[in-house]
Amino acid sequence: MEQMNEENTEEVKVLEAQIEHLQAEVSALKSQQQDNDKDITFNFRGQMQEAMLSMCGQRQGDKREKVLSRLKEEVEELEQDLKLQTKMNGISLNGCVAKTLQSSGRKLVQQLCVSGHCSELAFQVEFQLSEVNEGSGCGRTISDLNVVMDASDLQNLSGFLSGVEESRDLLLFFRTLRTFSDRCDDRHRTFQHFQEKYPSVVSLPGGSRSEVMTLNHPELSGCVVSVRWSVVVSREGGVAPEIQLLTKIPEKALRLFPSQAAGGAAAAKAFQSLLRLLGPEAALESVIMAVGLSQDA
């Protein structure tokens, strides 16, 4: 009986020793796990902090400066290209407003409003632009074209603008607008030149950009010679000057030369011959000098 008790006591001691050993291993594993958790947390926080700093621009400063510098260069290049294009085609755009009416994977429809000016001529163009993806290409069509212009010569453009709106030919509109503007500038420079050269004779009732120039002389009261210089645009976009000489001579002066074709159709016909031979500037100056109106010459 005593022998059995002693054996049980020995087994209990062995079991207690094993339990203590297991508890020590468990404690060591717990300590190691805590250390691993600390390392993982530290590394995670470090990586997240680095990522956040990079996103906020507080790190990699050199790269950020390089990106900003490149973007600035690209903007400057685009501005130079725009200035060059404006100088080449003479058209400056003031604004462009786009409104999306329909958008899908295959079709995009936008309402656009483009405003600008060509020399002294202001314009606004409104239209719908449809883009349809067709296989490897993209088809674009223009519809509902409406052109609004602020010009004193609008009566000479009305037929052309109506034709452009029907044909929806934007390229023709801008090309013709440039040519029309150039011919108006030619008239402006010519009128201004004569007004500065013969200030006591030449007057521009509507300003140097109007169609009419008048010639007067103090010693020939009531005798007025007017030049009407129109810039005519055909429906197809053809631009041509149309210059007419109009005379106003009192009846008393006409009676002094009953056998002479003074003024009227004869003068207009002679002036048209001068235009064909000499061109606008030389023909106008010849008229001024020939009739002896100018005291400034």
Between the CA of residue 5 and those of 1, 8, 15, what are the distances in Å?
7, 5, 15
Provide the number of structural domains found in the chain: 2
As beta bridge partners, residue 97 has 113
Ordered alpha helix ranges (H), the chain: 2-55, 61-89, 158-167, 170-197, 251-255, 264-278, 280-290
Instruction: Choose between 127 and 87: higher pLDDT.
Output: 127
DSSP state of 232: E
Task: State whether 167 and 191 are in the same domain.
Answer: no
Domain containing residue 162: 89-179
Task: State whether 192 and 210 are in the same domain.
Answer: yes
pLDDT tens, 79-123?
676 666 666 667 888 888 889 888 887 888 889 998 988 888 889
> pLDDT at position 228, please?
92
Mean pLDDT, the chain, as a whole number? Answer: 76
Task: State whether 192 and 172 are in the same domain.
Answer: no
Give the chain's length.
297
Task: State whether 119 and 186 are in the same domain.
Answer: no
Q: Which of 146, 179, 212 is where one domain is finished?
A: 179
> pLDDT at position 252, please?
52
- 36, part of any domain: no
Task: State whether 165 and 226 are in the same domain.
Answer: no
Task: State whether 154 and 214 are in the same domain.
Answer: no
